[in-house]
Structure 1
Amino acid sequence: MAEKNILAYFKSPEEAQHAQRKLQSLRVADMSIDRFSAYPGGELNGPMHPLTGDITSLTSMTQNSALSNRSAGILGAADPSASGMSDGGQDGTQGRDILLTVVLDEGIFDQAMRLIEESGGMV
């Protein structure tokens, strides 16, 4: 049989882990849970001091990103999540930064899709 894959987006790691536990009973070939972001970084990248002006960009302060140059900082600061002036859209993907990747047999694809959606995942 052929293999298929599913990329499902969740709002929390716990939701994704709940779906992962359900999918393990189907004996999928491979699964992983990862967090992703539009900006590099995520950990405390280095000390920033707003009074001395040692700030790469607004994005480095609000998103804790590690941008490589001034142009990237300007582009990142234009994002609604950096300024807080907008919710960023109404497409339903806002806040879904957890990715569950599943590789499985084609025969159990539909069943796996139902389990993921029941667990709060968006495919």
Structure 2
Amino acid sequence: MSEKNILAYFKSPEEAEGVAKKLQTLRVVDMSIDRFSRYPGTGLYGSVLPFAGDMVSLSAATFGTSLSGESSAILAAADPSSSGMSDGGQGGPTGRDILLTIVVEEDSFERAMRIVEDAGGMV
């Protein structure tokens, strides 16, 4: 039997977890919940106090926080909005930054889609 996948976006991990529990009644092959951001890495950590000499990078100065990965900090510093000459015009992911990835058997696909959409997931 073939499989189908669903990528559903939610506003909070709790919303996605609620849908994941409901989907357990179906023939789910694989499922995961992840948060994504504009920059790769494990995310942000700590607040930065530039007047206290706590500024470690350009991205720390412009975004008000330090990024946990070196690659992420480099990408953030290279962003057009970091220079102050542009807002970048694209913005980051806002609102729906939780991704529920579902792989189901083909005969359960329509029901899984209904469960996701009824719970407010964006497919």
TM-score (norm 1): 0.72
Question: Partner of 2:108 in structure 1?
Answer: 108
- The structure-2 alpha-carbon separation of the partners of 1:98 and 1:71, relative to structure 1 and needing over 3 Å to count, comes to closer
Contact 1:4 1:105 (8 Å CA) reproduced? yes
Structure 2 residue runs without a partner (length 5+) = none
Task: Give, as a single letter, the amino acid of the residue that structure 1 aligns with 2:78.
Answer: L
Question: Partner of 1:33 in structure 2?
Answer: 33
Task: Give, as a single letter, the amino acid of the residue that structure 2 aligns with 1:44.
Answer: Y
- The structure-2 alpha-carbon separation of the partners of 1:71 and 1:64, relative to structure 1 and needing over 3 Å to count, comes to closer
Deviation at 1:50, TM superposition (A): 0.8
**Bigger mean CA offset, 4-13 vs 32-41:** 32-41
Contact 1:41 1:64 (8 Å CA) reproduced? no
- The structure-2 alpha-carbon separation of the partners of 1:53 and 1:33, relative to structure 1 and needing over 3 Å to count, comes to closer
Contact 2:28 2:102 (8 Å CA) reproduced? yes
| Identity within the alignment, % | 47
- The structure-2 alpha-carbon separation of the partners of 1:38 and 1:70, relative to structure 1 and needing over 3 Å to count, comes to closer
Question: Partner of 2:58 in structure 1?
Answer: 57
Structure 1 residue runs without a partner (length 5+) = none
Partner SS for 1:30: strand
List structure 1 segments (4+ residues) > 6 angstroms apart after TM superposition.
83-87
Question: Partner of 1:13 in structure 2?
Answer: 13
Q: What is the distance in 2 between the residues matched to 1:10 and 1:70?
A: 26
- The structure-2 alpha-carbon separation of the partners of 1:62 and 1:116, relative to structure 1 and needing over 3 Å to count, comes to farther
Instruction: State the Cα RMSD in Å.
Output: 3.3
Deviation at 1:15, TM superposition (A): 0.7
Q: What is the distance in 1 between the residues matched to 2:31 and 2:72?
A: 35
Q: What is the distance in 2 between the residues matched to 1:85 and 1:48?
A: 22
Deviation at 1:56, TM superposition (A): 1.5
Asked if 1:120 is matched to 2:120, the reply is yes
Partner SS for 2:103: strand
Task: Give, as a single letter, the amino acid of the residue that structure 1 aligns with 2:112.
Answer: A
TM-score (norm 2): 0.72
Task: Give, as a single letter, the amino acid of the residue that structure 1 aligns with 2:45.
Answer: L
- The structure-2 alpha-carbon separation of the partners of 1:20 and 1:53, relative to structure 1 and needing over 3 Å to count, comes to closer
